[in-house]
Amino acid sequence: MKKNMVYIVMILIIIAIIVVGIVLKSDKPKDYKYRINTTYPSNCTERPRGYYIDSLNEVDAPYFYTICMGEQNSTGYSLELESVTKKDDNVEVIVKEIKPNPGDTVGMALTYPAITIEFPTYQEHIIFKDTLGNEYQLIN
């Protein structure tokens, strides 16, 4: 009898997890998709800190939003996607700027850290910020 109760409780827990997952998943707007694009070439070598928008000249082509950290005087700098949130019509993208720690061994070369995020559609109201709250300006 105790064994049957354990199975029943386990089944109820699994069902509850599935239901919660479905409810949470359905809260996202259906057109809200993005991904970090590692294959799209970023061209930040002549651009200051900021972001630019690009798209392929094809019907239903995705839009590529590339965030540039600007020119850095050594290796060890990079950008990581921290979060993408959508409220109403606004999309907020937070990126983490990674810098070498004092004393780290780095190569002496000019670098242009960037990250590209791909959206299936143009994002009318989008804001890019670093984790300190500093906004990246459009540099198209």
Amino acid occupying residue 87: K
Q: What is the pTM of this model?
A: 0.72
Angle value at C-alpha 23, between 18 and 28, nearest 5 degrees: 130
**Same domain membership, residue 36 and residue 17:** no
Q: Determine the 3-state secondary structure of 86 from DSSP.
A: strand
Residues 115 and 54 occupy one common structural domain: yes
Q: Which residues contact 40 (CB under 8 A, 6 or more apart)?
A: 54, 64, 66, 116, 118
Residues 19 and 83 in one domain: no
Task: Report yes or no: 136 and 49 within 8 Å, Cβ to Cβ.
Answer: yes
Domain co-membership, 19 together with 74: no
101 and 43 within one domain: yes
In whole angstroms, give the CA distance from residue 44 to residue 47. 5
Closest CA to 74 of 101, 95, 47, 52: 101
User: Is the domain of 69 the same as that of 126?
Assistant: yes
Whether 39 and 102 map to the same domain: the answer is: yes
Residue 1 structural domain = 1-28
54 inside domain: yes
Q: How many domains does the chain have?
A: 2
Say yes or no: 93 and 108 in one domain. yes
Residues 19, 60 within the same domain:
no
In angstroms, how far is the first alpha carbon of the chain from the final one? 69
Query: In tens digits, what is the pLDDT along the chain, a chain of 140 residues?
Result: 566 676 676 666 776 666 555 544 434 334 457 888 766 777 888 789 999 999 888 888 899 999 999 999 999 999 999 999 988 889 999 999 999 999 889 889 888 999 999 999 889 899 999 999 999 999 97
The model's pLDDT over 92-132, given as tens digits with 9 standing for 90+, comes to 999 999 999 998 898 898 889 999 999 998 898 999 999 99
- Output the CA torsion 17→20→24→25 (10° steps): 60
Q: Give 83's strand partners.
A: 94
Residue 138 lies in a domain: no
Is residue 67 in some structural domain?
yes
